[in-house]
Amino acid sequence: MNENEPCETVPQEEIRGRIDCLKKRMADEGIDFALICQNVDKYYFTGTLQKGVLAVAPGRDPILLIEKSVERARAETPLPFITVGSDREGAEILKKEGIIKGVAGLELDVLPVALYERLKGLLGFTRHADVAPSVKELRAIKSPFELDQIGKSGSIMTRVFEKAKDVIREGITELEIDAALTAEGRRLGHQGFLRMRGINQEMMTITVQAGFSSAITTTYADSPITGMGVTPAVPIGSSFKKVEKGVPVTIDYGGGYHGYTTDETRVFVVGELQELFRKPYDAAHEILEDLLSYGAPGVDCRDLYARALRIVKNAGLEHYFMGSGEGQVSFIGHGLGLEINELPFITARHGTILEEGMVFAFEPKFVLPPHGAIGIEIDVKVGPRRLERITGDSFEIVRL
Q: From first to last of the 400 residues of the chain, give the pLDDT tens digit.
A: 444 455 679 999 999 999 999 999 999 999 999 999 999 999 999 999 999 999 999 999 999 999 999 999 999 999 999 999 999 999 999 999 999 999 999 999 999 999 999 999 999 999 999 999 999 999 999 999 999 999 999 999 999 999 999 999 999 999 999 999 999 999 999 999 999 999 888 888 999 999 888 777 566 777 888 888 899 898 889 999 999 999 999 999 999 999 999 999 999 999 999 999 999 999 999 999 999 999 999 999 999 999 999 999 999 999 999 988 888 888 999 999 999 999 999 999 999 999 999 999 999 999 999 999 999 999 999 999 999 999 999 999 999 9
Identify the pLDDT of residue 323: 86
Identify the pLDDT of residue 221: 73
Query: Running DSSP on this structure, what letter comes out for residue 11?
Result: P
Identify the pLDDT of residue 356: 98
Longest dimension (CA), the chain: 71
- Asked if residues 362 and 389 have their Cβ atoms less than 8 Å apart, the reply is no
Identify the pLDDT of residue 213: 82
Q: Quick: pLDDT tens for 77-118.
A: 999 999 999 999 999 999 999 999 999 999 999 999 999 999
Identify the pLDDT of residue 1: 45
In terms of Cα–Cα distance, which of 16, 145, 148, 10 is closest to 76? 10
Q: Is 191 left (phi over 0), alpha (psi -120 to 50) or beta?
A: alpha
Beta-bridge mates of residue 368: 372
* Tally of helices (H runs) and strands (E runs) in the chain: 10, 17
Angle between helices 144-167 and 174-187 (to 10 degrees): 140
The gap between the terminal CA atoms of the chain, to the nearest Å, is: 28
Beta-bridge mates of residue 142: none
Beta-bridge mates of residue 374: 366
Non-local (6+) Cβ contacts of 123 within 8 A are 91, 94, 95, 100, 104
Relative to beta strand 249-257, strand 331-335 is unpaired
- Asked if residues 209 and 225 have their Cβ atoms less than 8 Å apart, the reply is yes
Identify the pLDDT of residue 366: 95
In terms of Cα–Cα distance, which of 31, 200, 26, 35 is closest to 116? 35
d(CA 375, CA 169) in angstroms, rounded, equals 20
Non-local (6+) Cβ contacts of 199 within 8 A are 110
Average pLDDT, the chain: 94
Residue 300: strand, helix, or coil: strand
Question: CA of 22: how far to CAs of 15, 55, 223, in Å?
Answer: 11, 11, 31
Identify the pLDDT of residue 6: 56
Question: CA of 118: how far to CAs of 24, 88, 247, 287, in Å?
Answer: 27, 10, 54, 49
Beta-bridge mates of residue 254: 263
Q: Indicate the pTM of the whole model.
A: 0.94
Non-local (6+) Cβ contacts of 213 within 8 A are 174, 227, 228, 239, 241, 372
For 313, half-sphere exposure in the C-beta direction (CA atoms, 13 angstrom radius) is 6
Query: Running DSSP on this structure, what letter comes out for residue 111?
Result: -
d(CA 160, CA 191) in angstroms, rounded, equals 14
Identify the pLDDT of residue 11: 95
- Asked if residues 188 and 160 have their Cβ atoms less than 8 Å apart, the reply is yes
d(CA 134, CA 37) in angstroms, rounded, equals 15
Identify the pLDDT of residue 135: 98
